[in-house]
Structure 1
Amino acid sequence: MATSHTVLAALFFFGMAFHLTSVDANFANSMYFYWGNPGSAIQGKGDDLQLVLDQTSGSGVKSKGTFLFGSIEMLIKLVSSTGDRHDEIDFEFLGNLSGQPYIIHTNIYTQGIGNREQQFHPWFDPTADFHNYTIHWNPTAVVWYVDSVPIRVFRNYESQGIAYPNKQGMRVYSSLWNADNWATQGGRIKIDWSGAPFIARYQRFRARACKWRGPISIGQCGSKAPGNWWTSPAYTSLSFTKQGQLKWVRDNYMIYDYCKDMKRFNGQMPPECFKPQF
């Protein structure tokens, strides 16, 4: 993550599809460090997390469980696996020159294919207070939310030949990392390490998830069984109020949409760009 001088503070609420066998999730019982700065730590009663980045090391945590159909770079992402055919759903904050706005960067990979970026300026200062960042992932759509306001939707058009992330369980990852080679203005703005260490703070991780138990989970988590609330109509489409909020964000704060970048794709736009998403 390319940022300078500013300490990032953010609240991440991961709203994932809930299954009756899931456990109460927090950082202490659901996440572990797999690389990073010694200053990174789970704090309090397990509901607080601090990631620290300096010039010698980054920081990252990884979920212990694997989930199917759930709500989930700084970096927050749901990833099914490593390899050429992985699925991934991203929520990232990109830093900028001092005084310039931050960028909320979103992306989605299906079967190893990404290049579906959409970017937004936040309508608030993300360093001033904690906020809720949610990815709601169910068999019908992926929805990115900020403080319960939808900013992006990726709908399931698998029946029309468009890949959708529904064949693999995913883990939650979060990291604070140096993306000098691409993130801030395409890599033109480098980190000012004189502002280090950089700190990202998280609170109240909540994974309401359908737990992955192998291929059989696809049918169980995707069914319209009474206990699978995430497949009910209330969670498979946006209300008129939420559609209005989505339009407000996209009309006023969206700064990049891959579906409008004709030059990038030489006119051969991804097929979902011609489909309604909300």
Structure 2
Amino acid sequence: MSSSSRLSSILLLFLFVFTLITASEGNFYENFDITWGGNQRAKILNGGQLLTLSLDKTSGSGFRSKHEYLFGRIDMQIKLVPGNSAGTVTTYYLSSEGPTHDEVDFEFLGNLSGDPYILHTNVYSQGKGNREQQFYLWFDPTKAFHTYSIVWNPQCVIFMVDNIPIRVFNNMESMGVPFPSNQPMRLYSSLWNADDWATRGGLVKTDWAHAPFTASYRNFNANACIWSSSQSSCASKSTNSLQTTAWQDQTLDAPGRNRLGWVQKMFMIYNYCTDFKRFPQGLPPECKRSRFL
């Protein structure tokens, strides 16, 4: 065999091995536990590359990450319940445990066929939430997979959709505003019935004739610091070996701020920081500091 042939064979072998390695990255079997709904409603398919959650009149379903994270970037591609999804909620969030827990929420509120989903976001720190922002999306989230990301570092929390920032919650602990900075969090997701509030404040109920309702997940990636409770420390790790730890000091640059402004101008439908009726004694202190919340 010539030297060029041997080189070609080595390159093909390397590509084959690399394909096997990357195929296992983000594997749902390796990274998640089914927490409720059982194998009947929560299913891991395609060798661990796809996960589906279903909701019927008996029960919903959910999963959570095996690891806890203390800062990082979490990405997941999700395709939401199609058709008449009114009354259903698909959640995707980071959360710690306990009465003073931290939490970073994506919640997708279903709607009647032809009406848009509402993307509901919230941030809890030290058990305190009430920081809701809601958006319509600029696409139909039931037709294809889209990437929903949480960037969490000591400076800020950034919510992103297809790598476009839609919300930023900055660390303003110096102003007395609690920030999720010291509690490791797991990633959770669930599909459940919330027709007492989810669609038009509970006016539209779930139509069980359309059940089971199903949401699909793929291409999970955690470029994050994995927490070790035994050592009370964490180690940076990514399910994608080609990624770096750029998330550690990531904030929005000028183009990012422009994209954020576009989303908030065109697609935001509720912002707690402009709800003066809800806060008659004055808006929360973080609302007075930055419009990027």
TM range (shorter): 0.7 to 0.9
**Structure 1 residue 45, shift from structure 2 partner:** 2.3
3-state SS in 2 of match to 1:154: strand
- In the aligned structure 2, how far is the partner of 1:128 from the partner of 1:46? 22
Return the TM-score normalized by structure 2: 0.79
**Structure 1 residue 24, shift from structure 2 partner:** 4.4
**Structure 1 residue 140, shift from structure 2 partner:** 0.5
Q: 2:28 is aligned with what amino acid?
A: F
Aligned pairs for 1:46-57 (under 5 A) are 46-57=48-59
| Identity, % of aligned positions | 52
- In the aligned structure 1, how far is the partner of 2:122 from the partner of 2:95? 12
Structure with larger RCO (C-alpha < 8 A, sep 6+): 1
1:240 maps to 254
The CA deviation string for residues 246-271 of structure 1, in whole angstroms up to 9 with x for no partner, is: 11111000000000111112233111
- In the aligned structure 2, how far is the partner of 1:105 from the partner of 1:171? 19
Contact 2:175–2:285 (CA under 8 A) maintained in structure 1: no
The CA deviation string for residues 37-81 of structure 1, in whole angstroms up to 9 with x for no partner, is: 513211112121010110001100011111101334610010011
Q: Number of paired residues?
A: 246
Q: 2:285 aligns with which of 268, 271, 277?
A: 271
- In the aligned structure 2, how far is the partner of 1:208 from the partner of 1:255? 31
**Structure 1 residue 241, shift from structure 2 partner:** 1.0
Q: 2:128 is aligned with what amino acid?
A: I
- In the aligned structure 1, how far is the partner of 2:175 from the partner of 2:280? 23
Q: 1:168 is aligned with what amino acid?
A: Q
1:111 maps to 126
2:139 maps to 124
3-state SS in 2 of match to 1:169: coil
3-state SS in 1 of match to 2:193: coil
Aligned pairs for 1:131-210 (under 5 A) are 131-210=146-225
- In the aligned structure 2, how far is the partner of 1:217 from the partner of 1:277? 34
Return the TM-score normalized by structure 1: 0.83
Contact 2:70–2:225 (CA under 8 A) maintained in structure 1: yes
**Structure 1 residue 230, shift from structure 2 partner:** 2.7
* Stretch of structure 1 that moved more, 24-33 or 190-199: 24-33
Contact 2:133–2:272 (CA under 8 A) maintained in structure 1: yes
Q: 2:248 aligns with which of 211, 231, 234?
A: 231
3-state SS in 1 of match to 2:257: helix
**Structure 1 residue 102, shift from structure 2 partner:** 0.9
Q: 2:93 aligns with which of 77, 86, 90?
A: 77
Q: 2:61 is aligned with what amino acid?
A: S
Contact 2:224–2:245 (CA under 8 A) maintained in structure 1: no
Cα RMSD (Å): 1.9
- In the aligned structure 2, how far is the partner of 1:185 from the partner of 1:71? 32
Q: Is the helix fraction higher in 1 or 2? A: 2
Q: 2:103 is aligned with what amino acid?
A: E
Q: 1:101 is aligned with what amino acid?
A: P
3-state SS in 2 of match to 1:33: strand
Computing the radius of gyration from Cα coordinates, the structure with the larger value is 2
- In the aligned structure 1, how far is the partner of 2:246 from the partner of 2:269? 34
Q: 1:250 aligns with which of 249, 264, 268?
A: 264
Q: 1:115 is aligned with what amino acid?
A: N
**Unpaired segments of 5 or more residues in structure 2?**
1-23, 75-88, 237-243
Contact 1:155–1:277 (CA under 8 A) maintained in structure 2: no
- In the aligned structure 2, how far is the partner of 1:207 from the partner of 1:153? 19
Over 2 Å off, 4+ runs: 23-26, 70-73, 213-218, 227-232
Q: Is the strand fraction higher in 1 or 2? A: 2
1:13 maps to none
**Structure 1 residue 189, shift from structure 2 partner:** 1.5
**Structure 1 residue 216, shift from structure 2 partner:** 4.4
3-state SS in 2 of match to 1:77: strand
